Amino acid sequence: MHDDLRCDWTKDEIRAIYRTPLLDLIHQAATVHRRHHDPAEVQVCKLISVKTGACPEDCKYCSQSVRYKTEVEPTPLMDVADVLETAKRAKAAGVTRFCLGAAWRQVKDNSQFDSVLEMVREVTDLGVEVCCTLGMLTPDQAGKLEDAGLYAYNHNVDTSNEYYDKVITTRTYQDRLQTLANVRKTNVTICSGGIIGLGETEEDRISMLQTLGTLDPHPESVPINVLSKVPGTPLANVEDVSVFDTVRMIATTRIVMPKSVVRLSAGRAKMSPSDQAMCFMAGANSIFSSEAKIMLTKAVPSQSYDEDKALLQQLDLKIRQPFKDQSREHPPQYSTQHSPQNSTAPAAT
C-alpha cells in the first residue's frame, strides 16, 4: 500500500485539502493521479436506464420519482435482447463499462430481477465491465449478481449524512451504507459517489468525502455528479455550481481516494472542452457517453460518442481498457471495522 492510500481521514484533513488554492490543489491531485493511474487514459462508460420512472422514492433531484411531474415518461423493463443490442453498439463505439440502471427503491426477488441477471450475463460475455444501479440490495441478491458475473455495483451516498434528509426522506444514509456493505461481502467492485449542487454547503461535501474515504477499502469507483436541474423536481431552481467548485471536488476526491476511478458524471454536458480538460488534470479518469446524448434519462444529458471521441483525440487521451482494476483477482482486505464476517455497514460519519 502506498502511504498516500489511507482510510482514516479526518474532516480537518479533508477540509485543508479542499481549501488549498485551486491551482496548487490541481497540481497535487495531478501528482497523486500519476502515481496510481496512467494519466493518458480515460474510461468511457455508457449508462442505460433499463426501467425508467415511477420510482416510489422522493430523491429531490430525480427525474424518475413518482412524486414529481417531469418530462420523463415511465417505461417498463427493457427486453434483454434490446439491452444487448445497445451494449454491442456501445462496445463498438469504445465503451468499456456498461451500466444498467433501474428506477427501483430496492431489488425484489421476482422475474424482473431474473431478467436483469440475464442482462448481466449476456453483456458480460461481450467483454465489457458490467455495472448495475438498482437501489437497495440484500446480501443474497448481491451474491446472485456476483454469480451472474457483475463487475461493479453503483449505489451513491449522494451527499453528507448531515444533509441527507433534506434531499431524500424515504430511506436513510445508514440504509445506503448497508447496501454498500452487502456488496462488499462479494467480489463485485463498488461504485459510490455523490452529487454537488443540491444546495449543500462546503462542509457537506467534505463530510461526504470523509464517509467515502473512510470506507475500507475505498470504493473502486467514485462518480462526482453535478446536479442536472430537472424541471418539476424540488431542486429545479437551485443555484448553479461553478466549474471551479467541480474541479475542486474532483481534485479532493482524487487525493482522498488515490486508486479509485473518479467518474466525471452528470453535469458534463454543460462543460466546455477546456472545463473537461481541467477535470482530467485534476484526476477525473472516466466519463459517460451515449449515442443519443442521454446519460440517464432525457432530463440528464451527456455528450455523444462522436463528440467524446473528438475530445479525447484533441487531448491526446486514450480509452482505458476494461478490467484494469485488480480487485477481482486480489479481493480487498477488510479491516475489523468493516469485515465480511460481521457484514454491518460502518456507522454514518
Distance CA 246, CA 29 (A): 13
Asked if residue 155 binds ligand SAM (CB under 6 A), the reply is: yes
DSSP E strand stretches across the chain: 41-51, 97-102, 129-133, 152-154, 189-191, 194-196, 221-226, 261-264, 286-290, 303-304, 318-319
Active site residue 248: no
Distance CA 334, CA 278 (A): 34
List, in sequence order, every residue forming a beta bridge with 261; answer none if it has no partner: 221
117 close to 148: Cβ distance less than 8 angstroms = yes
Residue type, 221: S
- Binding-site size for ligand SAM (CB under 6 A) equals 19
Part of the chain binding ligand SF4 (CB under 6 A), chosen from 56-64, 111-119, 283-291, 316-324: 56-64
Among 101, 213, 217, 219, indicate the residue that binds ligand SAM (CB under 6 A). Answer: 101
68 close to 233: Cβ distance less than 8 angstroms = yes
The residues, ordered by sequence, that sit 6+ positions from 204 with a Cβ below 8 Å of its Cβ are 159, 160, 162, 163
Asked if residue 103 binds ligand SF4 (CB under 6 A), the reply is: yes
Q: x/- site string to ligand SAM, residues 211 to 240, per CB under 6 A?
A: --------------x-xx-x----------
Active site residue 45: no
Q: How many CB atoms lie within 10 A of CB 12?
A: 9
116 close to 102: Cβ distance less than 8 angstroms = yes
Choose between 74 and 340: whose C-beta lies nearer to ligand SF4.
74
Which of 99, 132, 176, 320 is an active site residue? Answer: 99
Angle, to 10 degrees, between the axis of helix 243-256 and the axis of helix 202-213? 30
Map grid coordinates 477525473 to a residue.
284
How near is the Cβ of 77 to ligand SF4 at its closest, in Å?
A: 14
Among 9, 37, 42, 57, indicate the residue that binds ligand SF4 (CB under 6 A). Answer: 57
Active site residue 131: yes
Among 25, 32, 45, 55, indicate the residue that binds ligand SF4 (CB under 6 A). Answer: 55
How near is the Cβ of 184 to ligand SAM at its closest, in Å?
A: 16
Part of the chain binding ligand SF4 (CB under 6 A), chosen from 62-70, 123-131, 232-240, 267-275: 62-70
The residues, ordered by sequence, that sit 6+ positions from 64 with a Cβ below 8 Å of its Cβ are 49, 52, 53, 54, 55, 70, 72, 103, 297
Kindly provide the b/e burial profile for residues 213-230, where b requires at least 16 CB atoms within 10 angstroms of the residue's own CB.
bbbbbbbbbbbbbbbbbb
Q: x/- site string to ligand SAM, residues 6 to 25, per CB under 6 A?
A: --------------------
Part of the chain binding ligand SAM (CB under 6 A), chosen from 29-37, 71-79, 101-109, 244-252: 101-109
Asked if residue 53 binds ligand SAM (CB under 6 A), the reply is: no
Q: How many CB atoms lie within 10 A of CB 140?
A: 10
Distance CA 229, CA 58 (A): 15
Among 28, 43, 65, 233, indicate the residue that binds ligand SF4 (CB under 6 A). Answer: 65
Among 64, 70, 178, 276, indicate the residue that binds ligand SF4 (CB under 6 A). Answer: 64
Q: x/- site string to ligand SF4, residues 104 to 143, per CB under 6 A?
A: -x-----------------------------x--------
Choose between 32 and 50: whose C-beta lies nearer to ligand SF4.
50
Residues that bind ligand SAM in the complex, under the rule CB under 6 A: 61-63, 101, 103-104, 133, 135, 155-156, 158, 195, 225, 227-228, 230, 266, 296, 300
- By annotation, the residues acting in catalysis are 55, 59, 62, 99, 131, 191, 263
